[in-house]
Chain A
Amino acid sequence: MVDQSAVGRQFPPVVAQVEPGRLRYFCNTLGESNPVYRDAGAAQAAGYAALPVPPTYLFCLEMMDAPDPFAFLTALDIDLARVLHGEQRFTYHAPVVVGDTLTFKPRITGVTDKKGGAMTLIVVEAEVTNQHGVHVADTARTIVVRNVVTS
């Protein structure tokens, strides 16, 4: 079981490309028709240099371009089948647009046992910077591990 000793542990940075085709596929999947995400003219009129990404897309970028998106679970010896997503937070500091190259630096910031050890909550935060070194966002996910309770 994951314990407090995991807090502070860092994982290798993930470098992700904001590609137009993948963004369009994401928008199509969600029925997203907002022109700001689809039309370069609308994006420019809204003050963007290129198409911006929807608010949750940072999460996808990190998973898509990670060599193994579940590597942190493997590293912590957690079975993917026992994991649920508990909470998710994004803090935005600067625009992220098509053509950007982002670097995610994930680290564990919290481990909490719940229900007498039946569940463990693990918080993974990532600082996100772009190709110009601008700190564009911070992400935080809380995963819930359903522990195997042995009697």
Chain B
Amino acid sequence: MSAAAEIHPAVGARLVYKQFPPITRHTLALYCGASGDHNPMHVDLDFARAAGFPDVFAHGMLVMAYLGQALTDAVPPAAIRAFSVRFAAITGLGAELTCEGHVAELIAGKDERRARLALTTTDQNGEVKLAGDAIIVL
């Protein structure tokens, strides 16, 4: 795997880009087990309706996991210092997610050069589901 030191991005450069297949009920059931998040909101239609939602919807952390996957396709995991998101909208069944990250800022540290990436996850209609940041070592 390439060393993080080989990355020399410019501000504005797109470093992260990945598209994911539509989210299915099966995905949500598997993620319920894989993540330990057994909140019935994401797998039990009756529970979701009783809570006032029209259907089950994706775990926020499933959507963040996809964004993390897109991130570490582009940046070695060891180069990530911080990763944060705001969950901007609920991600429903059938959502086809696109994850992107652009270099927002170059940060001159005393020990290492860092960059802040501005990250987004949007669906097929362009609605922003997650907006966040990663701090990476260059």
Residues of A within 8 A of B (CB): 22, 25-26, 28-32, 34, 36, 42, 45-48, 52, 54-57, 59-66, 69-70, 80-82, 84-92, 95, 140
Contacts and interface: CB of A to CB of B under 8 A. Distances in A.
B: interface residue count bin? 35 or more
A64 B20 CA distance: 25
B78 A88 contact: no
B61 A55 contact: no
A42 B72 CA distance: 14
B12 interface: no
B80 A55 contact: yes
Contact of A88 (B47, B60, B71, B72): B60
B93 interface: no
B1 A46 contact: yes
Contact of A55 (B20, B39, B83): B83
- Majority-rule SS of A interface residues: mixed
B26 to A, nearest CB: 10
Contact of A92 (B51, B62, B80, B86): B80
A89 B51 contact: no
Given A29-B27, A34-B69, A55-B68, A63 B35 contact: yes
B65 A86 contact: no
A89 B41 contact: no
Interface in B25-64: 27, 30-31, 33-41, 47, 50-51, 59-62, 64
B64 A56 contact: yes
Interface in B61-87: 61-62, 64-66, 68-69, 71-73, 76-78, 80-87
A55 B77 contact: yes
A90 B35 contact: no
A31 B37 contact: no
A88 B69 contact: no
A15 B124 CA distance: 39
30 contacts: A25-B34, A26-B35, A30-B31, A30-B34, A31-B20, A31-B21, A32-B69, A34-B73, A46-B1, A46-B76, A47-B78, A54-B77, A55-B71, A55-B72, A55-B83, A56-B64, A56-B68, A57-B65, A60-B34, A62-B36, A64-B36, A70-B39, A84-B60, A85-B61, A88-B60, A88-B84, A89-B85, A92-B80, A92-B83, A95-B78
A58 to B, nearest CB: 10
A63 B36 contact: yes
Interface in B82-97: 82-87, 90
Contact of B31 (A29, A70, A87): A29
